[in-house]
């Protein structure tokens, strides 16, 4: 009789790609403030961004079709290539192209994860991690949309600290998270009509995501628990009918 072996750590990571992607995104949130946005720090950010792009492609490879995976790879390579080119020879056009391609890639990856969560009527552990991973992907996408908008309309965002300066990547990512979670704008405020329009779209996306996806997974989890614990009721024993005149 052979003994069953516990799954290795590597196997657990491979079977939960959404968890790896979510962890990488959250680590990035914590590391960004320590990395300067110029020089060697810019190179580190680009390498980390490329890693996150690769993880996003890996997380959707099982549920997405071959064509969808190829689109993800093409967008990821193009976005990373534009970022590297802009880091070597900074220019307005390369920065705008990089921001737009990153936004498209993260929205595409988020859409594929949403399809993954809607693919069946059972909630797996990886789907629970996919809830958080999809949320972070959307937050990253809108942060890049804000970056592109700031390049097209300098000064469209202001803040309590140095209000006339261009907002940094961390500030725009913070703005994206606060809007998507509906916690408020804090000290960063859109001051042009176009910026306010994009902010409103993200606020609607955050509310809709919670309503459509989070509530669905919670409902499926509860219904599965209720269905698994409920005991079938025994049918009542029929009472014999006595006819008049029958022997006692």
d(CA 72, CA 79): 10
Q: Say which DSSP state 32 is in.
A: G
Q: Quick one: average pLDDT of 215-237?
A: 60
- At 158, is the secondary structure helix, strand, or coil? strand
Task: Give the mean model confidence (pLDDT) for residues 219-248.
Answer: 54
Q: Which pLDDT tens digit goes with each residue over 173-193?
A: 999 999 998 887 678 999 999
The token pair that represents 69 in the structure block: 């995976």
Helix axes 40-59, 17-31, angle to 10 degrees: 160
Kindly report the backbone phi and psi dihedral angles of residue 149, in degrees, each rounded to the nearest multiple of 5, phi listed first: -65, -40
Tell me which DSSP letter residue 157 carries: E
Q: Which two tokens stand for residue 157?
A: 């965002």
Beta strands in the chain (DSSP E): 157-159, 188-190
Angstrom distances, CA of residue 8 to CA of 58, 59, 76, 129 = 19, 19, 30, 19
Sign of CA dihedral 213, 104, 24, 93: negative
Report the SS3 class of residue 166: coil
Does the structure show a pLDDT above 90 at 215? Answer: no
Give the mean model confidence (pLDDT) for residues 45-69.
75
C-beta separation of 103 from 202 below 8 A: no
pLDDT in tens, 192-201: 999 999 999 9
Instruction: Kindly state the greatest CA–CA separation across the chain.
Output: 107
| SS3 of 189-222 | EECCHHHHHHHHHHHHHHHHHHHHHHHHHHHHHH
What predicted TM-score, i.e. pTM, was given to this entire model? 0.80
The number of beta carbons lying within 10 Å of the beta carbon of residue 106 is: 26
Q: What integer pLDDT is reported at residue 16 of this predicted model?
A: 77
Q: How many CB atoms lie within 10 A of CB 112?
A: 23
**Closest residue by Cα to residue 27 from 124, 119, 136:** 136
If you search the block for the tokens 């997405």, which residue do you land on? 64
Contact 99, 86 (CB under 8 A): no
Residue 207, pLDDT > 60, answer: yes
User: Looking at residue 27, what DSSP letter applies?
Assistant: H
Domain assignments of the chain as residue spans, ordered by start: 15-227
Confidence of residue 172 (pLDDT cuts 50, 70, 90): very high
| Higher pLDDT among residues 49 and 105, named by residue | 105
Segment 157-186 mean pLDDT: 88
Residue 85 has pLDDT above 60, yes or no: yes
CA within 13 Å, CB half, 202: 35
């Amino acid at each position: 009789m052979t003994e069953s072996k516990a799954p290795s750590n590597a196997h657990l990571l491979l079977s939960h790609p959404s968890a790896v992607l979510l962890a990488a995104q959250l680590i990035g949130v914590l590391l960004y403030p320590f990395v300067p946005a110029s020089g060697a720090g810019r190179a580190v950010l680009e390498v980390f961004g490329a890693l996150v792009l690769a993880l996003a492609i890996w997380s959707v490879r099982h549920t997405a079709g071959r064509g969808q995976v190829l689109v993800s790879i093409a967008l990821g390579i193009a976005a990373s290539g534009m970022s590297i080119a802009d880091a070597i020879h900074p220019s307005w056009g390369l920065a705008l192209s990089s921001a737009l391609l990153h936004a498209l890639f993260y929205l595409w990856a988020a859409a594929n994860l949403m399809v993954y969560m809607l693919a069946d009527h059972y909630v797996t552990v990886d789907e629970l991690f996919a809830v958080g991973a999809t949320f972070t992907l959307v937050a990253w996408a809108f942060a890049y949309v804000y970056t592109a908008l700031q390049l097209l309309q300098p000064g469209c965002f202001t803040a309590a600290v140095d209000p006339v300066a261009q907002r940094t990547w961390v500030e725009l990512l913070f703005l994206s998270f606060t809007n998507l979670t509906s916690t408020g704008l804090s000290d960063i405020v859109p001051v042009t009509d176009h910026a306010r329009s994009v902010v409103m779209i993200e606020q609607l996306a955050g509310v809709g995501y919670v309503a459509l996806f989070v509530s669905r997974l919670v409902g499926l989890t509860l219904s599965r628990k209720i269905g698994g614990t409920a005991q079938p009721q025994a049918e009542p024993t029929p009472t014999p009918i006595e006819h008049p005149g029958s022997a006692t």
